[in-house]
Structure 1
Amino acid sequence: MKEKFNEAAFKERLEAQTSFPTLYPFKFIVPKKSLAELKALFPNRQLVFKDSSKGNYTSVSFQLMVPNSERILEVYRKAATVEGLIAL
């Protein structure tokens, strides 16, 4: 059974373990067919791509200077709109 993401607990953990502002690393795994959609969400970011061994998925990572935990959650919410995306 897939566990539901607990946003409040994640935010609490971020605030307890992170000093803001900070350079925060984001990493996503996305099906090849949805890669363009993810790229379009972050047009001004320097994205780093790595294809899976079979080429069906692509790992996408980037860093972003964030002022607080809410900004991190905004990025994850935005990315969650991409079909098949896995946030790491």
Structure 2
Amino acid sequence: MLSKNDADFYTNLEKKLAKTSSWPSSYLYKFIVPTSEAKIKKLVELFDNLGAVIKTKQSSKGKFTSVSIQLTMRTPKSVIEKYKEVGDKIDGVISL
């Protein structure tokens, strides 16, 4: 369940996305995950078959991996739903 702060964040983000872009629109997701082949694979699988361009880059010490995912989303609500799905399914992920 989302905290009030998370719910407010997503509500505000959805409003900003609706105002600043015409939809469908290209959207760039950025995540940081602890470097784990299983976690990175799971993250990639959540965006699989959506036409996403996915780039990964490991931190200098190798503890974390940044994952950038560019794809076309239909609505601001669909952007938010994907953020929530990632947060629900992958422990330790940080959404940027």
TM-score, scaled relative to structure 1: 0.85
| Secondary structure of 1:59 counterpart | strand
| Structure in which a larger fraction of residues adopt helix | 2
What is the percentage of aligned positions where both structures have the same residue?
A: 34
Q: Structure 1: any 5+ residue segments left out of the alignment? A: none
Q: Which residue is equivalent to 1:53? A: 60
Contact 2:54 2:68 survives alignment (8 Å)? yes
Aligned pair partner of 1:43 in 40, 48, 69: 48
Q: Which residue is equivalent to 1:14? A: 17
Shift of 1:71: 1.0
Q: Which residue is equivalent to 1:64? A: 71
Deviates more, 1:53-62 or 1:39-48: 39-48
Task: Find the aligned partners of 1:66 and 1:40 in 2 and give their Cα distance.
Answer: 16
Q: How many residues align?
A: 86
Contact 2:73 2:79 survives alignment (8 Å)? yes
Task: Find the aligned partners of 1:78 and 1:28 in 2 and give their Cα distance.
Answer: 13
Q: Structure 2: any 5+ residue segments left out of the alignment? A: none
TM-score, scaled relative to structure 2: 0.78
